[in-house]
């Protein structure tokens, strides 16, 4: 007998989670109370009901945890499942392993496959042929030993790392044995939550702490006695609701639903954990779960294939809700009136912001705050409903339309996914879901993040693994996201969560008792699942600790991320900006930008949304402060502070892209130096000590993006935006971020000059505040003729035009600064200039204003 997660299993026999007959009571059901939440055109204008809510209770109790085993061949709507039908992975039907192609488009070796046919272009004519799509599988684990060849220092921590990999392999083996493999295990949304079949609706929920449960909602007038659920020995509650006599579903699309449970903490109503949509009614605080199953004609059908993963990532970090700007409309008297800022919609973002991102030259858009969160000001990080897209911005179909449009534009779409913690809300979140403290989370202090005021998952729980792996799979499968930025990974990987800890790079900080091996193993599993089933998907991890092996494939013994966010760069820029120009150290800048692990790719950024929040400052605000309000018009005199700020803003961003990593990220609006900060609407807050934190009268005034500032060619913001666009197009043309060639030939503390090569380009930065240098000799790797391809001092970019962009620079033979060749340049103060080797007969294009 084997014991797995507290459940005794006889080898070779898989015990069903759903052996009990389905039960339903539909007689008391009333369809008259149903109210639809959806209008097709403008999702934010939809009417929301006004009615009585079901009872809600806060709760607290002991933990109950058991393993849920879900066989793939359980037929929703069946009345009985026999033991013979539940014989482990070998009994998984061939049909359940096939790739579901409904409403799906994929690319394979240049062939676009849709539905049951493939089309390929041959000599400009389309040939349609049948193509069998094989089931997707996750490759088996490797030996996990390659990490020691990549980094020999890891051999000193072999016991820890081998134990970690052994735990990962054990989980893979158990998932293969009892769940039919990681591919099937990660489709928990096909076994739990609301499941529609031809016969009716099945609803299942894992709530082992509950003593009784019933499904309530508009469909049965919130009658807790109408639809009683049954429980199996693993704590799974279940009910089957047959179709109405006219064939319509028992629960109409768009109606409210909750599960009522008698728990150790009392009676409580909860939004189903696997709910696909939830909304907040006017005047109410808790959200309501929505049964979301639109008719076929209302479902969005993806029209465009997902783009291939770009070689270098240029990410535009965005937040749909705060992407609106001031808009104007005519009133009844035909006078132009400014409209109040609002929470923007998926539709508006699709139509207005995505084309902007494409024009700027980015190839990826990273969207924050997708998962539903009851507290808007949490920036989307206090998630309440993990499978539901935020209803503030529209419907799930609106979000799908947004993603499809991005794919049409050639942009990949990354989702900012939160698996590091969850909202502590008990009324509309997972906290105390079944009345116990340790349902999805660790119990006691280990399950609470004191700084974030949120709950922490128990990654050692079988059902938590199912929930989170399925959650990642859901967003990739249903919405066609192209990958994720995993939030708060440092908090996950350590029991101290990185709080009050200064990582020095000593390996004992990474591989000791303070490492949460369960969490690291989960990260290995989710990366394994994502890359195994979706080879083109991208995963980026937010880790500030510098965990070794973070971006090494799981098969080789790593954690499996594609990229690490290079978070130290933004912190270093803030530290430097607090100093006088005379105190800036070129070596300090270079060290921070290049201090990353060999062979592990990083996403570099000078600032992200973190620096834009109220209480912090953007780089532009650090540099120009209040002068940004009065001296940004190009037809008016500038100030020394503005001139300095514009020059350094461009230099900081270019050197970060040039040296900081293999990818680049920018938060929306920062490309043109968006003024002020982000301040979400909030009221006055009174603390327990009697002090008061002032609110902003729930204003959206500073919770938006003034894109019009960057577009206005009569403002200096426009020059910053044009420079950022030129940066992106330069990288697109030369691909310098992913080049293996990088050499820093000069970091002169006296001259304040930095010179380096990246790919075939030579970058020259003069950070001196007054000194410009004529006939300044710089080294290069290849002889020939060089020309300027980007000049931060170009008038188009708000510069002074001190360089001749038509000039040609010929190299000298002989070693200089450790390079075999060199050439002479003029480098004005506070400028960044990029030179490229020109072919003998080619005239390179300079990005900037016309000569």
Q: Is 487 a catalytic residue?
A: yes
Q: Is 662 a catalytic residue?
A: no
Contacts of 665 (CB under 8 A, 6+ apart): 313, 315, 316, 317, 366, 565, 603, 604, 605, 608
Distance in angstroms (rounded) separating the CA atoms of residues 737 and 284: 49
Q: Specify the residue for token string 């009676």.
A: 267
What order of strands is seen across the sheet that includes strand 117-122? 105-108, 111-114, 117-122, 125-129
Give rounded-to-5 percent helix, strand, coil for the chain: 25, 25, 50
Distance in angstroms (rounded) separating the CA atoms of residues 86 and 109: 37
Query: Roughly what angle, to the nearest 10 degrees, separates helices 586-594 and 640-659?
Result: 40
Q: Taking Cα atoms as reference points, which of 386, 742, 747, 711 lies closest to residue 589?
A: 747
Q: Give yes or no for a contact between 150 and 556, defined as CB atoms under 8 angstroms apart.
A: yes
Phi-psi region of 682 (alpha: psi -120 to 50; beta: other; left: phi over 0): beta
- The contacts found for 99-104 with CB under 8 angstroms, 24 or more apart, are 99/133, 99/134, 99/135, 99/136, 101/133, 103/299, 103/301, 103/302, 104/302
The DSSP-derived string for 523-547 is HHHHHHHHHHH-TT-EEEE--SS--
The catalytic position among 76, 372, 398, 542 is 542
- Looking at residue 227, the DSSP 8-state letter turns out to be S
Distance in angstroms (rounded) separating the CA atoms of residues 367 and 341: 20
Measure Cα distances from 44 to 170, 242, 398, 523 in Å. 47, 33, 11, 36
Q: Give yes or no for a contact between 287 and 374, defined as CB atoms under 8 angstroms apart.
A: yes
Distance in angstroms (rounded) separating the CA atoms of residues 669 and 706: 7
Q: Taking Cα atoms as reference points, which of 798, 802, 792 lies closest to residue 831?
A: 792
The catalytic position among 76, 205, 372, 487 is 487
Catalytic sites, residue numbers? 487, 542
């Amino acid at each position: 007998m084997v014991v797995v997660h507290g459940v005794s299993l006889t080898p070779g026999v898989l015990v069903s989670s759903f052996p009990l007959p389905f039960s339903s009571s539909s007689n008391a059901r009333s369809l008259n109370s149903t109210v639809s939440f959806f209008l097709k055109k403008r999702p934010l204008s939809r009417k929301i009901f006004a009615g009585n809510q079901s009872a809600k209770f806060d709760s607290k109790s002991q933990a109950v945890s058991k393993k849920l085993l879900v066989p793939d061949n359980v037929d929703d709507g069946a009345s009985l499942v026999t033991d013979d039908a539940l014989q482990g992975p070998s009994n998984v039907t061939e049909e359940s392993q096939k790739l579901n192609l409904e409403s799906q488009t994929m690319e394979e070796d240049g062939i676009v496959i849709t539905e049951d046919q493939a089309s390929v272009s041959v000599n400009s004519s389309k040939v349609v042929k049948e193509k069998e799509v094989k089931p997707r599988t996750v490759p088996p684990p490797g030996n996990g030993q390659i990490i020691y060849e990549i980094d020999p220092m890891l051999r000193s921590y072999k016991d820890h790392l081998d134990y970690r990999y052994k735990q990962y392999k054990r989980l893979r083996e158990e998932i293969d044995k009892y769940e039919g493999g990681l591919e099937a295990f990660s489709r928990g949304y096909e076994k739990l939550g609301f499941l529609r079949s031809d016969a009716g609706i099945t609803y299942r929920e894992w709530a082992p702490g509950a003593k009784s449960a019933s499904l309530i909602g508009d469909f049965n007038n919130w009658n807790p006695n109408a639809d009683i659920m049954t429980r199996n020995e693993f704590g799974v509650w279940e009910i089957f609701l047959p179709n109405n006599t006219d064939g319509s579903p028992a629960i109409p699309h768009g109606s409210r639903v909750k599960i009522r449970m008698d728990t150790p903490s009392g009676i409580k109503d909860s939004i189903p954990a696997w709910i696909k949509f939830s909304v907040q009614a006017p005047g109410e605080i808790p959200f309501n779960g929505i049964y979301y199953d639109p008719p076929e004609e209302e479902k969005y059908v993806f029209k465009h294939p997902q783009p291939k993963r770009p070689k270098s990532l240029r990410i535009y970090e965005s937040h749909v809700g705060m992407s609106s700007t001031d808009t104007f409309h005519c009133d009844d008297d035909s006078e132009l009136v400014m409209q109040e800022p609002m929470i923007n919609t998926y539709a508006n973002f699709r139509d207005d912001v995505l084309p902007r991102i494409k024009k700027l030259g980015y190839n990826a858009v990273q969207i924050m705050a997708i998962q539903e969160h009851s507290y808007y000001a949490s920036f989307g990080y206090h998630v309440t409903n993990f499978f539901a897209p935020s209803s503030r911005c529209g419907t799930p179909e609106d979000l799908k339309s947004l993603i499809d449009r991005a794919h049409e534009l050639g942009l990949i779409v990354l989702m900012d996914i939160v698996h590091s913690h969850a909202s502590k809300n008990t009324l509309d979140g997972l906290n105390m879901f079944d009345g116990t403290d340790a349902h999805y989370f660790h119990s006691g202090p280990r399950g609470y993040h004191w700084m974030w005021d949120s709950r922490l998952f128990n990654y050692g729980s079988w059902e938590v693994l199912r929930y989170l792996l399925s959650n990642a799979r859901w967003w990739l499968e249903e919405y066609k996201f192209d990958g994720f930025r995993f939030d708060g990974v440092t908090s996950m990987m350590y029991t101290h969560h990185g709080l009050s800890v200064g990582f020095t790079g000593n390996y004992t900080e990474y591989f000791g008792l303070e490492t949460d091996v369960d969490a690291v193993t989960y990260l290995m599993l989710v990366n394994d699942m994502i890359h195994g089933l979706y080879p083109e998907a991208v995963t980026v991890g937010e880790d500030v600790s510098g965990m070794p092996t973070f971006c090494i494939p799981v098969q080789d013994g790593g954690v499996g991320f594609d990229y690490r966010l290079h978070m130290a760069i933004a912190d270093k820029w803030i530290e430097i900006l607090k100093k006088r120009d005379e105190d800036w150290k070129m070596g300090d800048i270079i060290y921070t930008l290049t201090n990353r692990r060999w062979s592990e790719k990083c996403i570099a950024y000078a600032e992200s949304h973190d620096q834009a929040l109220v209480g912090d400052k953007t780089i532009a605000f650090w540099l120009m402060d209040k002068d940004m309000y009065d001296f940004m018009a190009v037809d008016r005199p500038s100030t020394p502070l503005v001139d300095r700020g514009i020059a350094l803003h461009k230099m900081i961003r270019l050197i970060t892209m040039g040296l900081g990593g293999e990818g680049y990220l920018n938060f929306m609006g920062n490309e043109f130096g968006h003024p002020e900060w982000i301040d979400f609407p909030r009221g006055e807050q009174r603390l327990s000590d009697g002090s008061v934190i002032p609110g902003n009268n729930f204003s959206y005034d500073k919770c938006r993006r003034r894109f019009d500032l960057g577009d206005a060619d009569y403002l200096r913001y426009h020059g910053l935006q044009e420079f950022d666009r030129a940066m992106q197009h330069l990288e697109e043309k030369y691909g310098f971020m992913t080049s293996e060639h990088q050499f820093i030939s000069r970091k002169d503390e006296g001259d304040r000059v930095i010179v380096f090569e990246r790919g075939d380009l030579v970058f020259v930065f003069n950070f001196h505040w007054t000194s410009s240098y004529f006939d300044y000799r710089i080294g290069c790797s290849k002889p020939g003729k060089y020309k300027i391809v980007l000049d931060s001092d170009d008038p188009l970019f708000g510069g002074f035009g001190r360089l001749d962009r038509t000039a040609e620079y010929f190299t000298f033979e002989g070693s200089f600064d450790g390079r075999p060749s060199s050439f002479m340049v003029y480098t004005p103060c506070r400028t960044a200039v990029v030179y490229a080797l020109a072919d003998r007969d080619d005239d390179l294009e300079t990005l900037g204003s016309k000569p």
